[in-house]
Amino acid sequence: MILTGNVIVLPKIKNNLIDDLQILNIDRVSFEDDGESYKIRYGSMIFYPDEFLHFILIPDDDYPYKGQGYTLTIKETVLNLLQANATKTGFLKSKWKPSMIMSINADVEELQDPEKRNKILGSYTKTTEVGEPWIIPAGEIDIKTIQPLTL
């Protein structure tokens, strides 16, 4: 009911008493507008409103006999949670915590060569432990941290 907004129940009558309540599979139910009222089709059977119990969650504005449920809201919330989780996972698995950009005094050719770039980077990063500050000559490196707005 939370997802579809509708639950259809067929009461089974025996000796003028309710003997059983059968909940219909809502995926097999279709609603048919009858002008002033409506009926439901369940497979090849048709039922009129006096033959079933219909529980509605969040009635539709145009068809008040149909429930809307929370499908769209739940779907949007789940997508937002998945994106937030992917962002958090990507951030936490990053080599740099937090991510950073380093600006150093070096020739462009020197920085384009991966081996030379790794040698420059390693001269500052390989000797320190995680969380330990770097000790660098003043004016040689400018470091900017990149922080996500929220995790």
pLDDT bucket at 113, cuts 50 / 70 / 90: confident
Q: Do 105 and 64 fall within a single domain?
A: no
| Distance between CA atoms of residues 4 and 66, nearest Å | 9
pLDDT bucket at 112, cuts 50 / 70 / 90: confident
What global pTM score does this model have? 0.52
Structural domains of the chain, count = 2
| Distance between CA atoms of residues 100 and 127, nearest Å | 18
Q: Decide if 87 is inside a domain.
A: no
| Distance between CA atoms of residues 71 and 2, nearest Å | 7
Domain that holds residue 33: 6-69
Q: Decide if 76 is inside a domain.
A: no
Residue 104 bridge partners (DSSP): 141
What is the Cα gyration radius of the chain? 32
| Distance between CA atoms of residues 74 and 82, nearest Å | 12
Per-residue pLDDT reduced to its tens digit, 38-65:
999 998 999 999 999 999 999 988 888 8
